[in-house]
Structure 1
């Protein structure tokens, strides 16, 4: 078994685990924004915090194995892979999104949420669209420039 294939398998595994959480967390935010019950509010705060802290290591390990893949493929491959440059920009947006989730979590924690459940429903769709574009780029590898 080659290291390259191991890196690729672990990169995909941790990405799937990360996305399981990153898809569910904003859904919790939707329900949290809709609740007026103090008991439910407290429960959502715990669930959101635990979920975000649970999936964050998966986000970091996705990054680690992605970087190892780039190193394993080499500089010439990286320079010639224009699709990868676009993919990396989209991945950067996902990490910004992930960081934004920490800010939203803090807002709920301190009872400062200013967003409606509709906002969170739309917010919930952003990683879906980014993931679709990233997968299309990674599988199709279109020559972009």
Structure 2
């Protein structure tokens, strides 16, 4: 179980790193004024999303589900666990929103401003705070 937990945490960290950086790339992409820069950001965004964010999210769900399955008798009765699952679901929705914006930027159809993406970039921080507090403190136990 500890190996599964360790791998889960490692992939949570890589997923969060990608979700913190991808919208920051969107800020710079939207602010870029020349075609060479925009094409460079398209490449960076694609590599970050496909090479790190997507595989990390999949691994988080695999190892998280595995841990949940192994400890189902405990987890299924814990309110903090279900709150965590709700926040993780919101994080997955945020990831999906990043994919939508990435496709818009890739196809030169995005209408969002750099100010929007600066605010959008902060949202996963709040989700991460909630998730970590629920897992470590277990306030509803």
Residue number in structure 2 paired with 1:89: 86
Q: Structure 1: state its 5+ residue gaps.
A: none
Residue number in structure 2 paired with 1:136: 133
Match status 1:111 vs 2:108: yes
CA positional deviation for 1:102: 1.1
Tell me the distance in 1 between the aligned counterparts of 2:31 and 2:47: 20
Residue number in structure 1 paired with 2:12: 15
Runs of 4+ in structure 1 deviating by more than 2 angstroms, as ranges, are none
Give the total of aligned pairs. Answer: 140
CA positional deviation for 1:78: 2.0
The CA RMSD measured in Å over matched residues stands at 1.0
CA positional deviation for 1:79: 2.5
Match status 1:123 vs 2:120: yes
1:23-102 to structure 2, matched below 5 A, reads: 23-55=20-52, 56-74=54-72, 76-102=73-99
Tell me the distance in 2 between the aligned counterparts of 1:11 and 1:38: 39
Give the TM-score, by structure 2 length.
Answer: 0.96
Q: Structure 2: state its 5+ residue gaps.
A: none
Residues 72-116 of structure 1: CA deviation (Å, up to 9, x unaligned): 112x21232100100000000111111111111110111101100
CA positional deviation for 1:18: 1.0
Tell me the distance in 1 between the aligned counterparts of 2:5 and 2:100: 31
Give the TM-score, by structure 1 length.
Answer: 0.93
